[in-house]
């Protein structure tokens, strides 16, 4: 069974600050997705990373997949209040189910 850890569990920052959240697995996985979830809503897909060392950018968000494909990071530049939410990393368990990490709850204060 693959386990996912995310850190930090909670993060509260001021608008305009930068932040990085992390996702780590106990073993190699084939691909990883990052989702953002707002209260009372379902998770919304942000990005999928597949190749070790891959970096993807989505406006102010930068996603990195570790070379060994066991970890990933999400960096947000100049955070905005609209970035507030639960950030979930999810691994595709080799075509079986999707395994979620516990999430990082981000609060961006005005």
Partner 1 sequence: DTGVSQNPRHKITKRGQNVTFRCDPISEHNRLYWYRQTLGQGPEFLTYFQNEAQLEKSRLLSDRFSAERPKGSFSTLEIQRTEQGDSAMYLCASSPGTASGTEAFFGQGTRLTVV
With CB under 8 A as the contact rule, which of the stretches 11-19, 34-42, 52-60, 69-77 interacts with partner 1? Answer: 34-42
Q: Which of residues 49-88 bind partner 1 (CB under 8 A)?
A: 50, 86, 88
With CB under 8 A as the contact rule, which of the stretches 13-21, 38-46, 52-60, 74-82 interacts with partner 1? Answer: 38-46
Task: Tell the smallest beta-carbon distance from residue 105 to partner 1 (Å).
Answer: 8
Cα distances (Å, whole numbers) of residue 77 to 21, 60, 61, 63, 71: 12, 5, 7, 12, 20
DSSP helix, strand, coil percent of the chain (3-state; round to 5): 5, 55, 45
Q: Please report which helix (H) or strand (E) contains residue 11, including its range.
A: strand 10-14
Q: Please report which helix (H) or strand (E) contains residue 109, including its range.
A: strand 104-109
With CB under 8 A as the contact rule, which of the stretches 13-21, 56-64, 66-74, 97-105 interacts with partner 1? Answer: 97-105
* Binding interface with partner 1 (CB under 8 A): 30-31, 33, 35, 40-45, 48, 50, 86, 88, 90, 92, 94-103, 105
């Amino acid at each position: 069974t693959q386990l996912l850890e995310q850190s930090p569990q909670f993060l509260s920052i001021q608008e305009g600050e930068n932040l990085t959240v992390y996702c780590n697995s106990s073993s190699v996985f084939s691909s990883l997705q990052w989702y953002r979830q707002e209260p009372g809503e379902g998770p919304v897909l942000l990005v999928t990373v597949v190749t070790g060392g891959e970096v993807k950018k989505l406006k102010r968000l930068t996603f990195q997949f570790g070379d060994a494909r066991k970890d990933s990071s999400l960096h947000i530049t100049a955070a905005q209040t609209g970035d507030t939410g639960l950030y979930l990393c999810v691994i595709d368990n080799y075509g079986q189910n999707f395994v979620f990490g516990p999430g990082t709850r981000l609060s961006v204060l005005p």
